[in-house]
Structure 1
Amino acid sequence: MSVCPAMDWRPSELKFHYTVHTSLDVVEEKISTAGKAMAEQRELYLGLLYPTEDYKVYGYVTNSKVKFVIVVDSSNTSLRDNEIRSMFRKLHNSFTDVMCNPFYNPGDPIQSSVSQMP
């Protein structure tokens, strides 16, 4: 008897998965409400998307519609909005560097030996 990997998830993992997917819906909603005139002047940083009792989810969308989401523990009150914005900017720059690398194969996982996030 085999068990489906999706059925093997713990409730906290499912809750986290749900939170991220819900925040992606908020990203799509924010993108669609911005008019075509705003698209050129659009702020890439979308701010706080989806706060829950456990997590705060922040969003960022590049000009080419690549979406980045950062999930922070709600108990972490030391992070300010400008620090989150700076993290997204650095992440966007790193992502751009990887995509411009002629040795990168699209679809391969992006891994960094320099900084591993827990």
Structure 2
Amino acid sequence: MNRLAKLIAPAIAASLVLGAAVPASAASWQGRDSYRQEIAQLDRQIDRAQERRLISQREADRLERKVDQLQNLHARYAKNGLTRTEERILDQRIDSVKRQIAAEVADRDRAPQGRPGDHRR
């Protein structure tokens, strides 16, 4: 891994984590649409990490399944309005996926092609 990549990878990982640092519990104060927005943001973070080759295809697929499960759970809960218990469950699961994304980015288990510009495999 070249010197620039060694400097950039931790910065990207930190920005992904810090971008998701707003607690999910704040979502209940902003209304039900904020859950949809948070879940969509998770999906975008996974896509960005994969595009930057910070995570492998397999890691991205697994994380995408988690996001799909969150979307389905939210849709099921939102039909009759969210109870405090359902909000707490959504908050916990969103936070869990955020931590999983950060862990996968930080584990340096990258896509097989490596980082752009890195010619080693």
TM-score (norm 1): 0.33
More strand per residue: 1
Larger RCO: 1 or 2 (CA < 8 Å, sep 6+): 2
Structure with bigger helix share is 2
What TM-score, normalized by structure 2, do the two folds share?
0.33
